[in-house]
């Protein structure tokens, strides 16, 4: 067997569903697209991912010859009802940024070690445009919702790409949009208008982005602030948003299939109840939430913020005591979003809590949110 065949065999044995190989040539169209929408993507362009450099692999690794694109299918098992509509499927599957001691990180590490043990130099930290690389390697095509789709699996997939110095056998590209020509279901269903035309999404309006990228200290001027008009559209999503994938006819076969349940997710689902996340203790966060939700959210207070928004959007006065407790949280950010949620639920009980909170509030952000909530309640 050739090295290319060995690599594909090993990857399939590791649990990847598809493996394709393309050249390490650059992606100039991708760079042009990112630069043309700089105001939308400054947070990414300036991030530690260095996507502009990654789109020209040889600028970082002059010996680069090939990109191996691997597709992991996250929807072979069903996701618990308790988490669907709150945590996006790929975040439940904990596929992004997985550390080596968790199964998804271990799989990637085993793949890297296999390549190295077969004489390949593997680029250490090089983030190529994975969807494009995988389409050029013939393992995915596109949807108008900007997601990559793998035939037979749909779009609930993770693509991993390795850049290596070995000359390999290249696959035929599948750089095409395979949607029914008249379908616009994803664009019509997007609550915020983030999907503003086929294949174009403004991340700043995207619910998923707002759940996990709006954190203080991120590049590109991103802060923890989520505008009220986005909060209202976030529904119960606290980590990701699957709406434009859930409505997609190309995902229906998988979404409607009777799949085995993931026993681990069923077991931990109760740990992610919204009221539990709102009033999250340091201990529970460190022991239970952080070790699983390692994807993008880097701080307890952001889970609390997102839970407050979700509870406010549910609009049920039964959550007022939980939100009242959150008005005593140590973080002004949490108090501010709990106030917003109380204002959204409204009523005399919510107003009383907000008035009492305003009298003792010292944090400027929380104070402003309480005043706005009182005006709305």
Is residue 377 a contact point for ligand SF4 (CB under 6 A)? no
- Contacts of residue 261, defined as CB under 8 A and 6 or more positions apart, other chains included, come to 77, 78, 80
- Judged by beta carbon, residue 206 or residue 341, the one nearer ligand SF4 is 206
Contact with ligand SF4 (CB under 6 A) among 22, 78, 141, 145 = 145
Residue of 248, 221, 267 whose CA lies nearest to 147: 248
- Judged by beta carbon, residue 257 or residue 318, the one nearer ligand SF4 is 257
Binding mask 16-55 for ligand SF4 (x = CB under 6 A): ----------------------------------------
User: What is the maximal distance between C-alpha atoms in the chain?
Assistant: 75
Contact with ligand SF4 (CB under 6 A) among 148, 190, 277, 377 = 190
Is residue 122 a contact point for ligand SF4 (CB under 6 A)? no
SS3 sequence of 55-86: CCHHHHCCCCCEEEEEEEECCCCECCCCCCCC
CB of 93 to ligand SF4, least distance (A): 16
Cα distances (angstroms) measured from residue 72 to each of 64, 96, 108, 138: 24, 11, 10, 15
- Judged by beta carbon, residue 20 or residue 88, the one nearer ligand SF4 is 88
The alpha helices in 262-319, defined as continuous H runs, are: 263-268, 274-278, 282-284, 300-314
Contact with ligand SF4 (CB under 6 A) among 183, 292, 314, 376 = 183
Q: For residues 268-297, which are near ligand SF4 according to CB under 6 A?
A: none
Is residue 201 a contact point for ligand SF4 (CB under 6 A)? yes
Q: What is the distance between the alpha carbons of residues 37 and 202, in angstroms, rounded to a whole number?
A: 9
Residue of 121, 106, 92 whose CA lies nearest to 239: 92
Q: For residues 227-266, which are near ligand SF4 according to CB under 6 A?
A: 241, 243-244, 247-250
Q: For residues 327-366, which are near ligand SF4 according to CB under 6 A?
A: none
List residues binding ligand SF4 (CB under 6 A).
143-145, 179-180, 183-186, 190, 192, 194-195, 201, 206-208, 241, 243-244, 247-250
């Amino acid at each position: 067997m050739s090295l290319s065949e060995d690599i594909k065999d090993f990857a399939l044995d590791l649990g990847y569903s598809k493996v394709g190989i393309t050249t390490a040539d650059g992606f100039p169209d991708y760079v042009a697209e990112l630069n043309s929408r700089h105001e939308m993507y400054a947070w990414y362009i300036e991030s530690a991912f260095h996507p502009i450099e990654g789109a020209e692999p040889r600028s970082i690794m002059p010996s680069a010859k090939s990109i191996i694109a691997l597709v992991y299918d996250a929807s072979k098992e069903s996701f618990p009802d308790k988490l669907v509509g709150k945590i996006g499927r790929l975040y439940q599957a904990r596929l992004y940024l997985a550390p080596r001691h968790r199964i998804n990180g271990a799989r990637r590490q085993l793949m890297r070690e296999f390549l190295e043990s077969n004489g390949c130099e593997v680029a250490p930290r090089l983030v190529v445009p994975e969807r494009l690389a995988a389409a050029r390697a013939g393992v995915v095509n596109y949807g108008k919702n900007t997601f990559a789709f793998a035939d037979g699996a749909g779009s609930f997939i993770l693509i991993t790409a390795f850049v290596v110095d070995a000359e390999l056998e290249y696959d035929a590209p599948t750089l095409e949009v395979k949607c029914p020509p008249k379908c616009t279901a994803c664009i019509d269903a997007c609550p915020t208008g983030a999907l503003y035309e086929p294949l174009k999404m403004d991340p700043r309006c995207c619910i998923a982005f707002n759940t996990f990228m709006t954190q203080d200290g991120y590049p590109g001027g991103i802060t923890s602030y989520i505008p009220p008009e986005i909060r209202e559209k976030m529904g119960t999503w606290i980590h990701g948003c699957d709406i434009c994938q859930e409505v997609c006819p190309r995902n229906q076969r998988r979404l409607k299939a009777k799949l085995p349940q993931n026993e681990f997710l069923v077991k931990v689902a109760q740990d992610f109840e919204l009221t539990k996340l709102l009033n999250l203790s340091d201990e529970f966060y460190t022991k239970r939430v952080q070790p699983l939700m390692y994807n993008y959210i880097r701080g307890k207070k952001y889970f609390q913020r997102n839970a407050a928004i979700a509870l406010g959007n549910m609009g049920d006065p039964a959550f007022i005591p939980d939100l009242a407790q959150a008005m005593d949280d140590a973080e002004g950010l949490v108090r501010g979003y709990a106030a917003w949620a109380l204002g959204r639920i409204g009523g005399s009980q919510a107003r009383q809590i907000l008035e009492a909170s305003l009298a003792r509030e010292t944090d400027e952000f929380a104070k402003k949110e309480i005043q706005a909530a009182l005006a709305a309640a």
